[in-house]
């Protein structure tokens, strides 16, 4: 477990932006707002094994990001409040100020960097092509970009940005939330879906699915935390937290606990 005597957390299903300042009133910086409300609002996606997912036995969020969120709140001496959302929605929610920080397996991409401010990356992993074993049309990444193949991706994801640039013959199917590419592939409306490494981990032990990592030439997804733009002091505070947990071994111990040691970056 990361740390001791962590503040009890709570969960919210929806996040709303903080109330705007009154006319003529200077808006408070986010760290002051956090301390005033005594809560750290953390946007997360609760279906990423080892990063952030709900334990069915006790209802608690568990994983590396969940641990780091609670530890960060403890360092700030406030209560962690998890704002649960969907993979294709989390960046927009952070952008609108519906939470103070996004800590849910967030991959960095140029389009997302226009919406939110990212910390320095701390994890990395390749994209992956995922297909049903019963479907022999796409046995691996190298067989994906062929005429007649339908490749599904989550709309707004890193995978969508990459595949829009790379596919030449296959058809790209961007699936809008709350639908997801896995459902569309299971239903036969797509032959394969492409997702990031954090998401693909949950299917690697499932015999119904075939997972093929992208080659190094495609590049790896870098993962970071995200905050609303316009508050460099708050971004610096989150970066200081990341530097501290890297430096004292807290992040390493948590990554080892959740089987993510190979994803850590300096």
Domain ranges in the chain are 10-124+222-263, 128-218
Nearest to 128 by CA among 181, 171, 88: 181
CATH topology of domain 128-218: D-Maltodextrin-Binding Protein; domain 2 (3.40.190)
CA distance 158 to 194: 10
Nearest-Å Rg of the Cα atoms of the chain is: 19
Residue 19 has pLDDT above 80, yes or no: no
Q: Could you report the per-residue pLDDT of 112-124, keeping only the tens digit for each?
A: 999 999 999 999 9
State the average pLDDT for the chain: 90
CA distance 52 to 65: 6
Model pLDDT, residue 175: 96
Residue 246 has pLDDT above 80, yes or no: yes
Confidence of residue 5 (pLDDT cuts 50, 70, 90): very low
Contact 131, 138 (CB under 8 A): yes
Residues 6+ apart with CB under 8 A from 64: 50, 51, 52, 254, 255, 257, 258, 260
Residue 159 has pLDDT above 70, yes or no: yes
Confidence of residue 93 (pLDDT cuts 50, 70, 90): very high
Q: Is 241 helix (H, G, I), strand (E, B) or coil?
A: helix
Q: Could you report the per-residue pLDDT of 252-262, keeping only the tens digit for each?
A: 999 999 999 99
Model pLDDT, residue 193: 98
Residue 178 burial (10 A CB sphere; 0-12, 13-18, 19+):
exposed
Q: Please state the pTM of the whole predicted model.
A: 0.84
How far the first Cα of the chain sits from its last, in Å, is: 22
Domain at 10-124+222-263: CATH code: 3.40.190.10
Residue 103 has pLDDT above 60, yes or no: yes
Beta strands in 119-229 (DSSP E): 123-126, 128-132, 150-154, 171-175, 192-195, 209-213, 220-228
């Amino acid at each position: 477990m990361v740390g001791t005597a962590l503040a009890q957390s709570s969960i919210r299903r929806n996040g709303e932006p903080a109330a705007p300042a009154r006319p003529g009133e200077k808006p408070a910086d986010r760290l002051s707002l956090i301390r005033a409300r005594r809560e750290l609002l953390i946007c997360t996606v609760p279906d990423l094994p080892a990063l952030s997912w709900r334990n069915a036995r006790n209802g608690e969020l568990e994983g590396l990001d969940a641990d780091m969120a609670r530890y960060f709140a403890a360092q700030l001496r406030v209560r962690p409040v998890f704002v649960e959302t969907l993979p294709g929605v989390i960046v927009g929610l952070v952008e609108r100020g519906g939470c103070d920080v996004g800590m849910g397996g967030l991959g960095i991409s140029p389009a997302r960097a226009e919406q939110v401010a990212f910390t320095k990356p701390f994890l990395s992993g390749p994209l992956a092509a995922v297909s049903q074993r019963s479907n022999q049309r796409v046995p691996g990444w190298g067989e994906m970009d062929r005429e007649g193949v339908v490749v599904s991706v989550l709309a707004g994801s890193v995978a969508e940005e990459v595949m829009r640039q790379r596919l030449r013959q296959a058809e790209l199917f961007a699936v809008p939330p709350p639908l997801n590419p896995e459902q569309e592939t299971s239903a036969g409306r797509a032959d394969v879906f492409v997702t990031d490494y954090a998401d693909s981990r949950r299917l690697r032990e499932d015999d119904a699915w075939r997972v093929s990592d992208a080659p190094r030439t495609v590049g790896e997804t870098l993962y970071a935390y995200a905050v609303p733009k316009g508050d460099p002091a708050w971004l610096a505070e989150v970066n200081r937290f990341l530097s501290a947990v890297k430096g004292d071994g807290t992040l390493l111990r948590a990554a080892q606990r959740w089987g993510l040691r190979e994803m850590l970056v300096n």
